[in-house]
Structure 1
Amino acid sequence: MSPTDSAGQGPALLTASNLQKSFGDHQVLKSIDLQIGKGQVLALIGPSGSGKTTVLRCLNGLEIPDGGSVCFDTGPSVEFTAGTTQKQAQVLRTRSAMVFQNYNLFPHMTVLENVIEGPIQVQRRKRSEAVAEATALLARVGLEQKHDQYPHQLSGGQQQRVGIVRALALKPSLLLFDEPTSALDPELVGDVLKVIKELADEGWTMMLVTHELAFAREVADEVVFMDEGVVIERGHPEVVLRNPQNERTKQFVHRLLNPF
C-alpha cells in the first residue's frame, strides 16, 4: 500500500522517516518524520536552531543524516547509515531543488548562466533548450531584461527570484525553500512571496522554512512546528497558527505575531 500524506489526501510524494543528525556532540535532529503529498505546501516553522534548515538539507542530499530514510514515490530512496556516501545522498537532487536563504548564485556568472548551469552540466540537456526555458522563466518573474547582468548588479529580491528560477529550471518534483525572504529588505519581501504564492497556486509541491506566519497561513496545507530537533505540533494552518494546542507552539506563535 502506498503511504499517504499527513492530510490524508492520497499518496505521498516524499516520506522522510526517523531522520537523525548530529554535529559533534549536538544532536540537531531527533527522529523526524515528515510526509508531503503531490501539490501540497508544507511550512516548517520554529525558533532558530530548531533543525528546520537541516531537515531541508537532508532532503536535498546536502547533509547526510546519521540515520533514517528519505523516499520519493517513484524513487529515489535512500536509507541512511554510517556508511552512506555523499554521492548516494545526492541522488535525492534528481527530484528536489533548493532555494537558499542567501541566494547562493555564482558571482562570476551572469543571470542566464546561473540558471542554465544545472540543466546543462547536471542534467545534460541541450544548451539551446536550456536557454529557451531559462529565458521564459526569467520573463515570468519579471527579470527578462536582466539575463546578461551579474548577481552584484541585482537587488536582493531580484537575486532571490533568480534563485527560484534556477530551481525551477531543474524541473524538480519538490521545491525546498530555506527562509527565502529573511535576507531581504522589508520592501523587497513582497515580490518574492508573490512568486512563491503563484507557484503554490499552480500546484507545485513545496516545503517552506519561514518566519512569515501570515504567509504560511495563506499558502500552506500543513504547518509543522519544530523545536530542539523534534516535531512539537503539526496540522492545518488555521489550527497551528491560530489555535495551537501545545504550550511551546503557543509561545512561539504569540512572540512572532506580537514582537513588541
Structure 2
Amino acid sequence: MSPTDPTGAPDAGGAPDPTRASSARPSAATGESVLSVRGLTKSFGGTAVLQGIDLDVARGRVVAIIGPSGSGKTTVLRSLNSLEVPDGGTVTLSTGQTLDFGGRVSRRELLILRDRSSMVFQHFNLFPHMTVLQNVVEGPIRVQRRDPEEARAEARALLARVGLESKADAYPSELSGGQQQRVGIVRALALRPELLLFDEPTSALDPELVGDVLTVVKELADEGWTMIVVTHELEFARRVADEVVFMDAGVVVERGTPADVLNAPRQPRTQQFLRRVLRPLDE
C-alpha cells in the first residue's frame, strides 16, 4: 500500500494517514479517479444480479448506494474487493491499469484489485479466536508484511480514535455489536487502503448503537477517505455522500447528488422506492 506523509494527506496514490485527522478532503477537488467501472455483470445460477453497472469514484469522495434488498448492491462491493469475480465489464484503477472481466483476469490482477480497498462487513466478520488487537494487525503483518511493532502501534492508535483502546486484549464475544463494528472499521483502516467499502455497516446493530458507528464513518468522510457505502440509512446518505446511486434489479436506475436523488428523484422507480421507505407509520 502507498505510504502517507506525516500531515495525514494522501500521496499520489494513497489514502489519508489512518491515525490522523484532517479538516478537509485533500484531493477531492482534483477529480482524480480512484476507480472507474464500466459494464459490470454478474450472474448466480443463471440469475443476472448485475446487469451492466457503471460507476466512477473520485478521490476523496463518498458514494452511497441505496436500493431494495436483492438489487445487487452488495455484489457490487464484493466485485470491487475480488470477493466475487464479475462475468464481464471492466474496472480501471487509479494507476491506469484496466481489468477486463470479459477476458481472462489473472489471480495477480485480482490481488491488485483487492489490495487497493478494504471492506467493512455487515456482520463484522472478526476472527472469534483472536483478540481485538490481533484482528486488526493480522492483515498488515501477515499480508502486507509490515513491521509487527509498527503495525501494533498504529493499531492501538486507531483503536484509541474510536474509543476502544482499552479493548485491545478483549475477544469479539466480549464486545457489543457496535464495538465489534468499530473494530471492523479499524481493521479496514489499518490496511491503509485507497478505497473503503462499507456493506450496510449498521444493519446488524441495535438501534441505539447505530449512531456510534455512523459517527465514525462521517468522521472518515470529513477526513478525506474515499468511500463507497451501501446503506439503508437515507438521512446518513443525505448528510455524508457526495453522490447517491439508486440500484434496482441489478441496474443503476438513477444517480446524482443527495438533493437530486433523495429530494427530487426523476425516475418513477426511485420515486416509488422512496415513498415506501419514507412512508409515515400512520398511513
Interval containing the TM-score (normalised by the shorter chain)? over 0.9
Displacement of 1:203 after TM fit?
Answer: 0.7
What is residue 148 of structure 1 aligned with on the other side? Answer: 169
Identity among equivalent pairs (%): 67
Q: Please, what TM-score do these two structures have when normalized by structure 2?
A: 0.87
Partner letter of residue 143 of structure 2?
V
Displacement of 1:9 after TM fit?
Answer: 6.0
Say whether 1:23 aligns with 2:23: no
CA distance in 2 between counterparts of 1:168 and 1:10 reads: 23
CA distance in 2 between counterparts of 1:200 and 1:248 reads: 29
Secondary structure of the residue aligned to 1:70 is strand
Displacement of 1:80 after TM fit?
Answer: 1.0
What is residue 93 of structure 1 aligned with on the other side? Answer: 114
Distance 1:45 1:9, change over 3 A: farther
Q: What's the CA shift string for 1:177-197, capped at 9, x where partnerless?
A: 000000000000000000000
CA distance in 1 between counterparts of 2:46 and 2:29 reads: 37
Secondary structure of the residue aligned to 1:129 is helix
What is residue 94 of structure 2 aligned with on the other side? Answer: 73
What is residue 46 of structure 1 aligned with on the other side? Answer: 67
CA distance in 2 between counterparts of 1:106 and 1:88 reads: 27
My pick for the range that moved more, 247-256 or 39-48, is 247-256
Displacement of 1:94 after TM fit?
Answer: 1.5
Query: Is the contact between residue 76 and residue 91 of structure 1 (CA under 8 Å) also seen in structure 2?
Result: no
My pick for the range that moved more, 239-248 or 249-258, is 249-258
CA distance in 1 between counterparts of 2:148 and 2:98 reads: 30
Secondary structure of the residue aligned to 1:241 is helix
Q: How many residues align?
A: 254
Distance 1:89 1:259, change over 3 A: farther
Partner letter of residue 122 of structure 2?
Q
Partner letter of residue 146 of structure 1?
K
Q: What's the CA shift string for 1:12-64, capped at 9, x where partnerless?
A: 11101110000011000000000010000000000000000000000111100
Distance 1:259 1:97, change over 3 A: farther
Displacement of 1:8 after TM fit?
Answer: 9.3
CA distance in 2 between counterparts of 1:124 and 1:9 reads: 32
Partner letter of residue 25 of structure 1?
G
What is residue 160 of structure 1 aligned with on the other side? Answer: 181
CA distance in 1 between counterparts of 2:84 and 2:125 reads: 16
My pick for the range that moved more, 69-78 or 190-199, is 69-78
CA distance in 2 between counterparts of 1:136 and 1:77 reads: 35
What is residue 63 of structure 1 aligned with on the other side? Answer: 84
Secondary structure of the residue aligned to 1:240 is helix
CA distance in 1 between counterparts of 2:161 and 2:272 reads: 39
What is residue 231 of structure 1 aligned with on the other side? Answer: 252
Partner letter of residue 197 of structure 2?
L
Secondary structure of the residue aligned to 2:137 is helix
**Unaligned runs of at least 5 residues, structure 2:** 1-27
CA distance in 1 between counterparts of 2:169 and 2:204 reads: 24
Secondary structure of the residue aligned to 1:145 is helix
What is residue 235 of structure 2 aligned with on the other side? Answer: 214
Partner letter of residue 208 of structure 1?
V
Query: Aligned Cα RMSD in Å?
Result: 1.5
Distance 1:131 1:12, change over 3 A: same
Displacement of 1:257 after TM fit?
Answer: 1.5
CA distance in 1 between counterparts of 2:188 and 2:280 reads: 33
CA distance in 1 between counterparts of 2:111 and 2:272 reads: 37
Secondary structure of the residue aligned to 1:48 is coil
